[in-house]
Amino acid sequence: MKITINLVAWNGKKYLPFCLDSIAKQTFRDFSLLILDNGSTDGTVEYLKSLNPLIPNTKIIFNEKNVGFAGGHNQAFKMSESDYVLMLNQDIILEPDFLEKVVDFMDKNEDAGVVTGKLLRWDFNENKKTEFLDSAGLKIFRSHRVIELGGEEKDGEKWSYPAEVFGVSGAAPIYRRKALKEVMLGDEQFFDEDFFSYKEDVDLAYRLRLFGWKAWFLPEAKAYHDRTARTNGTEDADVIKNRKNKSDFVNYHSYKNHLFFLIKNLTWPVILRSFSQIFVYELKKFGYILIFETSTLKCLVEFFKKLPKIYKKRKIILEKKKVRTKDITKWFGLEIVKKIEKKSRDVVAIRATNPLDVSIIILNYKTKGLLRECLRVIKAVSPKLNYEIIVVDNGSGDGTGKMMKEEFSETKFIASDRNLGYAAGNNLGIKEAKGRYVMIMNADIIIFPESIEKLVSYMDTHRDVGIVAPKLLNPDRTLQDSCYRLPSFWIPVFRRTPLGKIDFAKKELDKYLMKDWDHSSEREVDWLLGGCLLICKEALSGLGLLDERYFAYFDDVDLCRSMWENKWKVVYYPEVSMIHFHRRESADGKWWNGIFKKTTRIHIKSWITYFKKWGFENKVGEVQITKL
């Protein structure tokens, strides 16, 4: 199974029909469900025993006593072997595509230890889904107070973009098994069972950060939560109000576990940098408890009794931690909220300046059939953007013009009377383009639904990127080489002759093709294959048009290098995939036959042009290589 849903229930009979119904409706089906009842006394046990097996691969476990949120999830985790684990509260309902969205994201982002969807409030009493946020992750202050990011705000544009966050709420987190196994403490516990309930998610979030794992907010994956204990608000009055609204049981464990959390996880450099904020916050909290909430003081007996165990855990954590102090302290405060808000404002401003999102320029040369299929697919997926399509035919002479007139008369068509090459042909389209982004696309590209929208959204929210390109796949869905380091002078020789089979040449080619990386994560690269590139029009205006000295080959290398030289980033974005019917002629047939082909002569000419223009120092390449 790809993912296991671990649902730990305790006196949740009223919630379970809604929660289980939402699980049954998931579009992603490669999952198993493990329900663990934690000694319920409200009829939950009887309800679970009476269930019809509507959800395949379901297992139900009944505990005689309540072992707590932490103990229950640790117990359930040991019973599964899936890549990912969704630890689900009983008071959650999932949108049908929730699992589909999070599994896809986790598959493509291997450094993500945990993901949260967009949790919105569910008014259970009215059985109503609201537009108010419950959680978009966890926000931590220098005082080490932790609250729900976005809690109780109305959902809107600024919460529509994925963002890395400090950590995630324990209501519906999706963890990577590999990450949980790495941060486990004694007795195979990732959730600390000394906590019993409350603040385990905060403790685990901090530990994942210490071990170098990332946490992400994924707004496309939506769920609804009827939260019992709320912890939002930044002022003292908000803290007091929250504590008054919680039961004695919640306040007891919440305070005890907060102290455990501080002792376990805070390094001395963090303590020294944040001492005044931590001291003041803890002093005010203790003063309030001492005067107005004396029942909570009982937790100090358990706290001191378990303190030696907590110190042992602290030692293990600090010995194994992998990150620097600044990797933790950068999350203190409201920076992530401001970052998300700025993204939203920037996108609105960008769209206001030019309502035409993208100009799709398709260059064609004697590939009429592929061009027809490319245009049909674009029309079928119907990108939800304001876009124009400009087809440039490079003197094909194969009836492309007639086809365009008869089948795609609404598409702008530019016909050249001769083959101008890649750069000059695309320049004809660029001169006519009105969009704020230009997408240069070969006629042998097939897009998937939302491909173009995702690329445009990425550019809208990354204003320092000049070019972004998708992951390109071969027709059999295998990975196609499409991002590279800058070439040394000998790379074309190694690729076109048997010299490439010699050990030192193979190592050089592997470095050039970035074989030391699995191409599954977003990354800045030296250059991208020109099969499909989304280019910022503002960046392109600063460069001018494509260099027409390149008829074919090295034109895409030159364009990307020019972007870097002008302080624009070039990014490979595998969140988006496209199919490319690309054939490298140098890989076809016997190598000596290729030497006499016209394409080889063109390649050599472009090769010489490139190195005459840029010289032999791969400055951009050296910078990129150091990032490995």
* The pair of three-digit structure tokens given for residue 260, joined into one six-digit string: 């455990």
Arithmetic mean of pLDDT, 162-172: 92
The long-range contacts involving 70-75, CB below 8 angstroms and separated by at least 24 positions, are 70/189, 70/191, 70/192, 70/193, 70/195, 70/196, 70/197, 70/200, 71/191, 71/193, 71/196, 72/8, 72/10, 72/36, 72/38, 73/6, 73/8, 73/191, 74/188, 74/189, 74/190, 74/191, 74/193, 75/36
CA distances (Å), 215 to each of 212, 259, 318, in order? 10, 23, 20
pLDDT tens-place string over residues 418-449: 999 999 999 999 999 999 999 999 999 999 98
Cα–Cα distances (Å) from 165 to 111, 135, 263, in that order, read: 13, 11, 23
Rg, C-alpha atoms of the chain:
29
Q: Are 404 and 339 in contact (CB under 8 A)?
A: no
Predicted confidence at residue 494, as pLDDT, reads: 84
DSSP character at residue 11: S
Tens-digit pLDDT profile for residues 583-614 = 544 444 454 455 557 888 888 899 899 999 99
pLDDT confidence tier of residue 621, bands split at 50, 70 and 90: very low
Residues 550 and 420: their CA atoms lie apart, in Å, by 10
pLDDT tens per residue, range 451-509: 999 999 899 888 899 999 999 999 988 999 999 999 988 888 887 778 878 888 899 89
Cα(59)–Cα(246) distance, integer angstroms: 33
Give the span between the Cα atoms of 278 and 284, in whole angstroms.
10
DSSP run (H or E) holding 394: strand 387-394
Q: How many CA atoms lie within 13 A of 326 on its CB side?
A: 0
Question: In the block, which residue shows the tokens 């009377």?
Answer: 417
Q: How far apart are CA 74 and CA 384, in angstroms?
A: 43
Q: What is the pLDDT of residue 353?
A: 56
Residue 116: what pLDDT? 97
Which range among 39-43, 172-176, 600-604 shows the weakest confidence by mean pLDDT? 600-604
63-67 — which CB contacts under 8 Å span 24+ positions? 63/36, 63/37, 63/38, 63/39, 64/39, 65/38, 65/39, 66/10, 66/38, 66/39, 67/38, 67/39, 67/193
pLDDT tops 60 at residue 231: no
User: For residue 333, is pLDDT > 60?
Assistant: yes
Could you report how far apart the first and last alpha carbons of the chain are, in Å? 32
| Sign of the CA dihedral running 70, 71, 73, 74 | positive
What pLDDT score does 585 carry? 45
Assessment of whether the complete model's pTM goes beyond 0.85: no
Better pLDDT: 452 or 233: 452
Helix 299-320, helix 248-265: angle, nearest 10: 30
DSSP string, 526-556: SEE-TTEEEEEHHHHHHH-S--TT-SSSSHH
8 Å CB contact between 159 and 145: no
Per-residue pLDDT at 622? 40
Kindly state the tokens that stand for 364.
């064609």
User: How many residues belong to the chain?
Assistant: 628
C-beta contacts of 342-348 below 8 A and 24+ residues apart: 343/158, 343/161, 343/163, 343/461, 344/156, 344/157, 344/158, 344/160, 344/161, 346/460, 346/461, 346/463, 347/157, 347/460, 347/461, 348/157
DSSP character string of 399-441: SHHHHHHHH-TTSEEEEESS--HHHHHHHHHHHH--SSEEEEE
Pairing of strands 445-447, 84-88: unpaired
Residue type, 536: C
Domains and CATH numbers, the chain: 3-333 (3.90.550.10), 350-483+522-583 (3.90.550.10)
Helix ranges, 330-386 (H) = 335-353, 368-381
Query: How confident is the prediction for the chain on average, in pLDDT?
Result: 88
* Confidence at 355, pLDDT banded by 50, 70, 90: low
Instruction: Say if residue 103's pLDDT is above 70.
Output: yes
Q: Is residue 230 predicted with pLDDT exceeding 60?
A: no
pLDDT of residue 233: 53
- Residue 61's region, left for phi above 0, alpha for psi from -120 to 50, else beta, is beta
Say how many CA atoms lie within 13 Å of 107 toward its Cβ: 12
Q: How many CA atoms lie within 13 A of 2 on its CB side?
A: 12
Tell whether the model's pLDDT for residue 279 goes beyond 60: yes
576, pLDDT greater than 70: yes
